Structure 1
Amino acid sequence: MSSPNPEKLVLWTIASTAFFGFFRLGELLLPSSAAYDPATCLSWGDIAIDSRDNPSMVQVRLRKSKCDQFGKGAQIILGNTGTRLCPVSAILRYTEARKSQPQGPFFLLSSGVPVTKMWFTAQIRDILRLLGLPQDDYAGHSFRIGAATTAAMVGIADSSIQTLGRWQSAAFLQYIRTPASQLASFARTMSASSPPTTGGRSEP
């Protein structure tokens, strides 16, 4: 993989893919470097880009997931955002850098070793530490939780969030984290409304 900062590139590509694809880390990365199984793990051939000159989306074939009890797999679409925070541009840069290794697990380190969940988690926690942010708040589901929360905050319908995250039920609602500041603001909103009628009696 030829890149000025190959490990940063793969780290960024995994993070943006996990977030915009509502992925669990186990759907993208291996539990250990020796655990690669092409029948179940994300491989080079599972990624399809509609156009390298003017890409609008990337299609990721998910061979197996936690909710896929019958092993049917799923096709996840990642759209081009047109901004610096874009999974399509990240994947394009990564695949360009990996031209000499177009096979096997999709996410590889510059040494050719598959990226594991442990390696990725350790890198993210190091970044959080450098930023002075709590490392314990990060776990394997953080990108999936963050995606659901962000989607809800920008007004994407619950039904669409359920589709994007491939949830089979409304269980996805437990992933949506409302900031404490927003919860606190609800009291002001409620106090501005007309008080309910209590039959002439007032609460003490």
Structure 2
Amino acid sequence: MRKERDRQGLETTVFHVPRTKSAPAGEDVYWARQEGLSDPEAAFANHKRINDPPHDGPLFAYRWKNGHRALTKSKFILRLSKAARAAGKDPLQGHGIRIGATLEYLLRGVPFDAMKVLGRWSSDAFTVYLRKHAQIMAPYLQENPAIHESFSRYTMPPVR
């Protein structure tokens, strides 16, 4: 894990994942501090406090019996499902979590092209899964009335 700063002095936490389904040689994953309950920095600090992962073991290990166990995708999804049910929500599968995160960023005003890079999407296919289209598009359309007028002419039939 390492910390990086951009030209404006904003800090990002970066860590290397040795392999993933789409990147067998591994890739860097990163986050930036957020306000509120979705702050990954606070969540990671909580993980370290509760699980105290060993320095020479997996970063995302949890306490198990007299030691630690590496967190697997199946255990992660199972834990999220339990938390969702306890909160009275329907559990999400892995793909739904990624789409939900994408939707959250878009609702916060992150542009589509930046979201594509952030989500490591190789195509625009993620847009097919999105919901709340009006809320996502509203900031873009309201910011530029000319775009809104053009969009309306394209999507709305003529009034008769």
Note if 1:131 corresponds to 2:131.
no
- Give the drift of 1:106: 1.5
Q: Which runs of 5+ in 1 are unaligned?
A: 1-46, 183-189
AA of the residue aligned to 1:125: S
Aligned counterpart in structure 1 of residue 22 of structure 2, from 61, 67, 79 = 67
What is the aligned counterpart of 1:92 among 28, 45, 70?
A: 45
Change (3 A) 1:106 1:139: same
| Aligned partners of 1:151 and 1:161 also within 8 Å | yes
Query: Unaligned 5+ residue runs, structure 2?
Result: 136-151
Deviation at 1:48, TM superposition (A): 2.2
Give me the TM-score of the superposition, normalised by structure 2.
Answer: 0.66
Note the alpha carbon deviations across 1:43-71, whole angstroms, 9 max, x for none.
Answer: xxxx22459xxx933102133333337x3
Structure 2 Cα separation of the partners of residues 118 and 66 of structure 1: 14
One-letter amino acid of the counterpart of residue 81, structure 1 = Q
Structure 2 residue aligned with 1:11: none
Structure with bigger strand share is 2
Distance 2:14 2:130 in 1: 25
Quote the Cα distance in structure 2 between the aligned partners of 1:115 and 1:58: 20
Q: Which has the larger radius of gyration?
A: 1
Equivalent residue runs for 1:48-197 within 5 Å: 48-49=2-3, 56-68=11-23, 71=25, 73-95=26-48, 101-111=54-64, 112-135=68-91, 138-178=92-132, 196=158
Does the aligned pair in 1 maintain the 2:53–2:61 contact within 8 Å?
no
- CA distance in structure 2 between the partners assigned to 1:87 and 1:125 by the alignment: 19
Matched pairs, number: 135
Could you say which structure has the greater relative contact order, defined with CA pairs below 8 angstroms and 6 or more residues apart?
Answer: 1
Distance 1:100 1:149 in 2: 31
Task: State the match for 1:25 in structure 2.
Answer: none
Residue 96 of structure 1 deviates from its aligned partner by 5.1
Give percent identity, aligned residues only. 23
Two-structure CA RMSD over aligned residues (Å): 3.2
